[in-house]
Structure 1
Amino acid sequence: MSSDYETLEQSRDIMISAIAQTMVIYGVTPSVGRIYGVLYFASEPLSLDDIKTQVAMSKASVSNGMRELLETEMVIKVWKKGDRKDHYVAEKDFLKNFIAFFIKKIRQERNLILKAAQQVQPTLEKIAASSDDPQVKGEAIKDLEQMKDSYNYFDWTMRLANEMESGKIFDNFPKSSKEKEQ
């Protein structure tokens, strides 16, 4: 193995580690980040066995990590002629990855809160309308107002997510300054 190749591999290892560390910020484990990093620098699609060897993890752990990356659309399953195993490539557009991840998290947040709000809103409305305890009645009214404020927030975040998903957000926030100049 040439000295240049070893230096190249060391540089890639540093970048893979950095990618893994940054993915922790988004709630992804470092091991899943390493899997993505290996795929990001791969010159051809890799099988689970190929990835397992490079990240020194069990096949089950690689498979679980791959499932997570597929769900967030950071990795794509591809067919490789002459091989029955599944192969994978990384989505290398970081902006596309961020948008897909961000939109998924916005929708998860909205769904969790709205489901809880639908569950408690009738109870709060009943307390606000008929409680004999003025303090409890006032608290219920306050909680209902806060829920209405959260609906405004979720409306805004969904509009943001829809603009990101459609690409219309780039009308106001171009992907790069070079694109703006053209």
Structure 2
Amino acid sequence: MLNRVILIGRLTRDPELRYTPAGVAVTQFTLAVDRPFTSQGGEREADFIPVVTWRQLAETCANYLRKGRLTAVEGRIQVRNYENNEGKRVYVTEVIADNVRFLESSQSREGGNASGGGNMPEPPSYGGGGRGNSGNSGFSRNNNQDPFSGDGKPIDISDDDLPF
């Protein structure tokens, strides 16, 4: 059995960082992911997918991710349910992320050096939770097996590409 998902999209708002009663950090945000086709009216449509991160990855996402940032998320789909105040069963489908990659620097979003010049740092990659990352302390750099590895150049996407 396999439950893995990889998404690339833009945050619809800043992440929300909270802590459980036991003191474990948890962050929630929504990723807008374009559909690969246009509607009958010729407009692009998007799916808005809720993402949850835990522990150190949650704190890192809360510190560095902002609304509109292009982000790659790798994780698993989880469906949970609960009973609301009216006694109705509510189902929630979300992605539990164990790896998040920031695909553009904050400089390029703020109108900085977006032409790919010399002083733009390579966006970092942050992973967490499981999958044999021991000795890695949640931080990873480019490697040949990473599907999101790039050459450190900015991605040419305008604000018109945002679905919100």
Length-normalised TM-score, structure 2? 0.22
| Structure with a larger share of its residues in helix | 1
Q: Which has the larger radius of gyration?
A: 1
| Structure with a larger share of its residues in strand | 2
Query: Greater relative contact order (Cα 8 A, min sep 6): structure 1 or 2?
Result: 2
Length-normalised TM-score, structure 1? 0.21
